[in-house]
């Protein structure tokens, strides 16, 4: 297996604004994702001579030092099937020469790694080999469905990231919560990742965590359940799920942070996934009109809601 020596890279202007971890995942193809993050945690990757976090935004002229490492091709089961490629293509909600927005299916990760052969971005790249670069502008949990933005140009990616940093990308979700939420709920609680938790809860509310703000608005109330519209003001890992559980209203179908008994009840109603759906994104790129894209609930989630409406004694209507 070949071993590379120390590498020094100077960041070109086209990569300005990109997260360091995303840059490395592309630059170090063949190196497992977990290994890339281990290098960052251990401080083996240096930027301008210092240690930085994975979410560091690159600047033009930054000098990266990469340590010697063994590169190997992933052996994770091959490329996406024709069925998956077609499914992803059919999920596209909006597309122009700068970006595309698709309705990501639940159960499909946004990218490969950690034992997964591929995700949405690899499938899109395989489907359109002549359209490069194609980059994720943000992420959704594997079990979350809905609006996912993919940039087709480096400049577009930088613009979207700049809008997100200034909270000018509206991201709304629909979620079914356990319990009766009587009124709007604002949750401002810092979140901290706990590496190495595996299938346990990898994110927790912690005073030493990063700022996170989520606002929940009730839409429909049923016996023991509330359908809510969720507004994300920050984009932390598992933010909605952790904030909902922390507040005593876990998301339906959440195997990590949720209520196991309540989840078993909803399985009888047909829910076999997380009831969390990115229903809308809205933003305006520089010099352009505002773009608004919406993704309808899947048949499975809509059927669960219909069951609750017909059988669970509705206790209220629209907010």
Residue 21: strand, helix, or coil: helix
In 69-116, alpha helices (H): 82-90
- Within 8 A by CB and 6+ apart from 286, the residues are 159
CA–CA separation, 38 vs 44, rounded Å?
9
Q: What is the chain's length?
A: 319
- Those residues whose C-beta lies under 8 Å from the C-beta of residue 96, and which sit 6 or more positions away, are none
Phi, psi of 205 (to 5 degrees): -75, 130
| Strand pairing category for 99-104 and 92-95 | antiparallel
Which tokens go with 86?
């077609």
Label residue 85 exposed, middle or buried (CB < 10 Å: 0-12, 13-18, 19+).
middle
Picking from 235, 118, 258, the residue whose alpha carbon sits closest to that of residue 167 is 235
Give me the numbers of helices (H) and strands (E) for the chain, helices first please: 8, 17
Q: Considering the candidates 62, 103, 135, 141, report the single residue annotated as catalytic.
A: 141
Tokens of 113: 């790694």
Show the DSSP H helices in the chain as ranges.
20-27, 33-41, 82-90, 120-127, 154-165, 239-246, 260-268, 299-311
Is 62 catalytic? The answer is no
Rounded to an integer, what distance in angstroms lies between the CA atom of residue 242 and that of residue 98? 33
Mapping DSSP to helix (H, G, I), strand (E, B) and coil, where does residue 80 land? coil
DSSP 13: G
Catalytic residues: 141
């Amino acid at each position: 297996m070949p071993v590379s020596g120390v590498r020094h890279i100077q960041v070109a202007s086209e990569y300005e604004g990109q997260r360091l971890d995303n840059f490395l995942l592309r630059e170090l193809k063949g190196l497992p994702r977990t290994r890339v993050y281990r290098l960052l945690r251990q401080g083996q990757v240096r930027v301008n001579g210092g240690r930085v976090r994975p979410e560091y935004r690159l600047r033009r002229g930054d000098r990266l030092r990469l340590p010697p490492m063994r590169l190997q091709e992933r052996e994770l089961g091959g490329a996406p099937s024709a069925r998956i490629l077609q499914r992803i293509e059919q999920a596209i909600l909006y597309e122009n020469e700068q970006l595309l927005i698709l309705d990501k299916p639940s159960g499909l990760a946004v990218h490969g790694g950690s034992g997964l052969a591929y995700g949405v971005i690899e499938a899109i790249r395989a489907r359109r080999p002549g359209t490069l670069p194609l980059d994720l502008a943000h992420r959704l949990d594997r079990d979350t469905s809905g609006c996912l933005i993919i940039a087709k140009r480096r400049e577009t990616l930088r613009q979207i990231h700049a809008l997100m940093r200034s909270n000018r990308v509206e991201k709304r979700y629909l979620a079914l919560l356990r319990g009766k939420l009587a009124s709007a709920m604002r949750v401002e609680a810092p979140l901290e990742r706990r590496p190495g938790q595996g299938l346990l809860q990898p994110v927790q509310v912690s005073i030493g965590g990063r700022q996170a703000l989520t606002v929940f608005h009730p839409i429909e109330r049923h016996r023991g359940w509330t359908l809510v519209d969720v507004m994300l003001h920050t984009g932390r890992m598992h933010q909605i799920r952790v904030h909902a559980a922390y507040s005593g209203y876990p998301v339906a179908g959440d195997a990590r942070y949720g209520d196991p008994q309540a989840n078993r009840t909803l399985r009888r109603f047909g829910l076999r996934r997380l009831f969390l759906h990115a229903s809308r994104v809205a933003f305006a790129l520089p010099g352009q009109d505002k773009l608004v894209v919406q993704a309808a609930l899947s048949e499975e989630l809509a059927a669960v809601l219909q069951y609750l409406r017909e059988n669970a004694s509705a206790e209220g209507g629209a907010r």
